[in-house]
Structure 1
């Protein structure tokens, strides 16, 4: 498995660090990955190499304000408003290969998961405003997605040190230590960036209650994964969102990981192994070349959710509804 570093230049001239995890032969599919808060694309352990070894090329980048895309300390966490965040994602996605024989998938973790959901469903997202040149996805995957409230709106450009409790990220103590020692995980955001994350969460919480005309329906297959021990983002909120999406006719798969914390890709070995298997199985089941050859033992533990009432238990949890936020 080879990797290749590159630069993605945004329309405003900002250069983002990008990286590709290549397959040994011609890829069966491409996965675009959006990382989480205080994270970067090189911190996802075995997830990307595992997918590459299965024929799934992974393309990712460090978002504006994070990781190696930060050029000076004052840029840390300065993501810009939601409109900028989604425009950056759209720019990167449009740069990826677009071939009918090479399925493209989109995946987001934590903050990145919330961004992906806004990107797909918000009517003001560039994905829905720029339909003529929108990426042609074969599926969307979210795990431990952020749909909750973060912090009240304050001064847009002022930086705020907002440390995550590292002990809540994973039951794997090596993962906790690695996060604490990783200088690229700087835990710093502007109030504007935190406010944008808050607004995206508020909009997702009230998306379905706002009415069918307030969000854009999607025929894409969706996969959700969440540990029921996660105290960083809300497991009940993810399960509720997946349930409501299924009730609206969405093609939804929901995978629950008992006792797992936030970083499913770097959890206890048995949890991470199951997570990697589930992700790989979902993607390959949507690839025409492999959909009939996915091993039964890779998919038998996945909870498929189709149509109304698909998720076994309706969990509203701490989800609240409010008027939809503007980008």
Structure 2
């Protein structure tokens, strides 16, 4: 694709977005068509994660039907020019996918552009990720989590199949979770307490910030309605919360390019499942027993930084590290100024390098 000016990209976006956003992306086939429609536009994005060069990485995309009969989309990035240090299993956040920012363009490889996954792979790590049911390119109603327990089990099933492959049995394995993915990673650890060498958690959803939780009376009404209409999009969202996702204004403008992102109000059933999951997780922080790297923006008003501090204090493991980033918002790897993004990514790679040489699982 020839170089595209900023004005031309805006023209393309305005025309394509009218088509995509007027379409119903509730079901997976529509989301898969949307991804194809936007691939050329996404190649032109000016974001630091898409500019830095990397090479020597083999990328693979797969659709597989899991034990619940759902077609699950997954990706892997494997280093080709260096020995495999470890494998990383990535859990994406709420509303997101394992493509776009984590992959970069998440579609095909153009000019070996740098993405989070490809940078990790070029640093010697095999990276694996999937779209949860109801998100991205996997089957399921968009943005709907009927059971958080089932979602965690789906992720455990997928990653366990990878770890059981002979070529990966003798290398360390780590969980990397972002936001809701951090809560999923911790629940995976509870189910498999001795299976992982550590977890790196980015703004983990151990507790919602107070501004994210409706007034007590409103919450009780929503809980009652959710029992009858769980798929309904009714959960209120404050405008300042939306503004807290991306601190860098230029990166906030790129958000519409992520066409698979769930952008509507949360579904009642989903909100209730996540609220219950966080309340249970808060009570189990003392059970966390694997090496931890916890990263959180001090100005995050979506997932509560104080809960990350509590996780650091209560986890019953000595090998733990808490990194708080001054003035940073919620999306540490997507929405911050370039220097913060590279700082966070550097912290992750340094921690992985330190721990990947340790063979024993905890």
Q: TM-score, normalized by length of structure 2?
A: 0.68
1:79-117, Cα deviation, whole Å (9 max, x unpaired):
221221111111111111343432111111001111222
Contact 1:114–1:145 (CA<8 Å) still a contact in 2?
yes
* Residue 223 (structure 1) aligned with residue 302 (structure 2): no
Contact 1:51–1:280 (CA<8 Å) still a contact in 2?
yes
Could you tell me how far 1:250 is from its partner in structure 2?
4.1
Aligned residue in 1 for 2:282: 205
Tell me the distance in 2 between the aligned counterparts of 1:285 and 1:31: 14
Aligned residue in 2 for 1:76: 142
Aligned counterpart for 2:133 among listed residues 60, 64, 70: 64
Tell me the distance in 1 between the aligned counterparts of 2:172 and 2:317: 23
Tell me the distance in 1 between the aligned counterparts of 2:201 and 2:270: 21
1:130-170, Cα deviation, whole Å (9 max, x unpaired):
xxxx7x31111111011224564342532316668443112
Aligned residue in 1 for 2:71: 15
Structure 1: any 5+ residue segments left out of the alignment?
129-133, 291-327
Aligned 1:74-153 pairs, distance under 5 A: 75-98=141-164, 99-121=168-190, 125=191, 127=192, 136-149=195-208, 150=213, 152=219, 153=223
* Residue 160 (structure 1) aligned with residue 219 (structure 2): no
Tell me the distance in 1 between the aligned counterparts of 2:207 and 2:184: 12
**3-state DSSP of counterpart to 1:115:** helix
Q: CA RMSD in A?
A: 2.4
**3-state DSSP of counterpart to 1:2:** strand
User: Paired residues, what number?
Assistant: 268
**3-state DSSP of counterpart to 2:250:** helix
Tell me the distance in 1 between the aligned counterparts of 2:297 and 2:260: 25
Could you tell me how far 1:256 is from its partner in structure 2?
1.3
1:19-46, Cα deviation, whole Å (9 max, x unpaired):
1122123422110000001101113243
CA separation of 1:35/1:86 partners in 2, compared to 1, >3 Å: closer, same or farther?
same
Aligned residue in 2 for 1:3: 59
* Largest Rg, 1 or 2: 2
**3-state DSSP of counterpart to 2:67:** coil
* Residue 41 (structure 1) aligned with residue 98 (structure 2): yes
- Structure in which a larger fraction of residues adopt strand: 1
Contact 1:77–1:159 (CA<8 Å) still a contact in 2?
no
Could you tell me how far 1:284 is from its partner in structure 2?
1.2
Could you tell me how far 1:217 is from its partner in structure 2?
5.0
* Residue 180 (structure 1) aligned with residue 180 (structure 2): no
